[in-house]
Amino acid sequence: MPTRRLSVSIVGLGYVGLCTAVTFASRGFPTLGVDIDSRRIKAIEKGETPFHEPRLDRLLKRGLRSKLLRVSDDASSAAEAEAIYIAVGTPSRRDGSINLEYVEGAARQIGASIRDIHGYRLVIVKSTVIPGTTSSKVKPILEENAKKKVGPQMGLCVNPEFLSEGTAIRNALYPDKLVIGASDEQSGSRLRKIYRAFYGGKLPPTIMTNPETAELIKYSSNAFLATKVSYINTMANLAQEVPGVDVESLAEAIGLDPRIGPLFLRAGPGYGGSCFHKDLQAIISYGRKVGYEPTLLREVEQVNEQQAARVVGLAESLLGELNEKRVAVLGIAFKKDTDDIREAASLRVIDLLRKRGAQVVVYDPMAMPNAKAVFEQSVEYATSPKAAINEADCCIVMTEWDEFRKLKAKDYAQLMRSPNIVDARRIYEAADFETVNFRAIGLGDRMS
């Protein structure tokens, strides 16, 4: 067992908070996870994970068994720990701007509960917040409720996370960087000390900066990744119009340039997930507020939004009118290996298909319960990929699940009413699908 570790508490056991909590416990830190949702806490206490994430289940059970991880629905207990992370959600308001009520509420409760504590407490904002939030909102709320000033008795840092769904535990254990935005020197050096213990003495590359810069780094990172996706989708849409041109060769070639890099250049139906759209909207709205219109980011979002119509357009190029056609959608999740359908491109595509009068049948290996909650009776639900394509007029592959790769051209030909396939994720080799009607994002139509 490692030497004594500082204790940490994490307020907000959503995706980021829970993954962070289990990794702290796994590295020997006494960890307290706090969430106001008592049903969620009861489930977590029993070792049940509220969402799917590889390795989370094992680390949660191990943390609870070792007693290094405890959970509570009492927010005031967070101040028991020396380092207190705020990891609550920052959803969008209707106009796209950020809703900070949970961050402010957490700051209020944390402040109130450290009021009577004599020792030093370090508060760390892990939630994604727009620049200025920590200094101009969190800090005064903490100080007012704690009746202490940030400085000798209380520390405050911004420490954004860069966890991707599906690899969150690996990302937390082996990050490519740490970003620490410290309100003062002591706060920063205390947080570095925690991470030195966490990472076994050797810190990952660490950017030490002020809170505002740390806050903006998080948005810049997500906005850049989203820009890469919209960029390659723009190239894909151009490529698609030229017979014989393939965006995959293009992406491979430009990716070899170290100034561009090979990652995040997979053309597809547009990005989804809980972060990109929400964060872009928040930073666009923030830009407007401070007097700068970030037109590039607005276009990134618009390209993404329009990509759904490109996918449906491919189906129409094969079928003509979609009215009363049976269209199978394979994959609802926003990417493979998750049950998350938030902002998934499939939602936009299914919406358009329904507006054009198509009869939609869907299948996803993991996301069916979430899909049912959204679509209710408006679509049909199949129990397997083959059942979904059975008697369909068209099939659109929306998520790159491995199990969809097993379907061969002959399966489509045998099962479908007419074998029209739109590969919106580029999971198939066009050469293997010459016997059926096949279109793919970023692939110019066959040369006749």
Catalytic residues: 275
Binding mask 155-184 for ligand UDX (x = CB under 6 A): ------xxxxx-------------------
Site residue total, ligand UDX (CB under 6 A): 19
Our finding on whether 271 is near ligand UDX (CB under 6 A) is: yes
- Looking at beta carbons only, is 72 or 370 nearer to ligand UDX? 370
The Cβ of residue 197 has, within 10 Å, a number of other Cβ atoms equal to: 17
Our finding on whether 231 is near ligand UDX (CB under 6 A) is: no
Which window, 47-55, 98-106, 270-278, 401-409, contacts ligand UDX (CB under 6 A)? 270-278
Our finding on whether 275 is near ligand UDX (CB under 6 A) is: yes
Q: Cα 222 to chain center, whole Å?
A: 10
Our finding on whether 310 is near ligand UDX (CB under 6 A) is: no
Our finding on whether 442 is near ligand UDX (CB under 6 A) is: no
- Looking at beta carbons only, is 35 or 165 nearer to ligand UDX? 165
Q: How far apart are CA 375 and CA 65, in angstroms?
A: 39
Our finding on whether 264 is near ligand UDX (CB under 6 A) is: yes
Our finding on whether 225 is near ligand UDX (CB under 6 A) is: yes
Q: By CB under 6 A, name the one of 334, 375, 404, 433 that touches ligand UDX.
A: 334
* Region of residue 366 (phi > 0: left; psi between -120 and 50: alpha; otherwise: beta): alpha
Q: How far apart are CA 225 and CA 343, in angstroms?
A: 16
Q: How far apart are CA 359 and CA 378, in angstroms?
A: 9
Per-residue burial over 359-397, b if 16 or more Cβ lie within 10 Å, else e, is bbbbbbbbbbebbeebbeeebeebeebbebbbebbbbbb
- Looking at beta carbons only, is 29 or 276 nearer to ligand UDX? 276
Span between the terminal Cα atoms of the chain, in Å: 68
Cβ 293 to ligand UDX, closest distance in Å?
24
Q: How far apart are CA 335 and CA 302, in angstroms?
A: 20
Our finding on whether 125 is near ligand UDX (CB under 6 A) is: no
| Angle value at C-alpha 312, between 311 and 315, nearest 5 degrees | 95
Which window, 192-200, 262-270, 321-329, 375-383, contacts ligand UDX (CB under 6 A)? 262-270
Provide the binding-site residues for ligand UDX, judged by CB under 6 A: 161-165, 222, 225, 229, 264-266, 268, 271-273, 275-276, 334-335
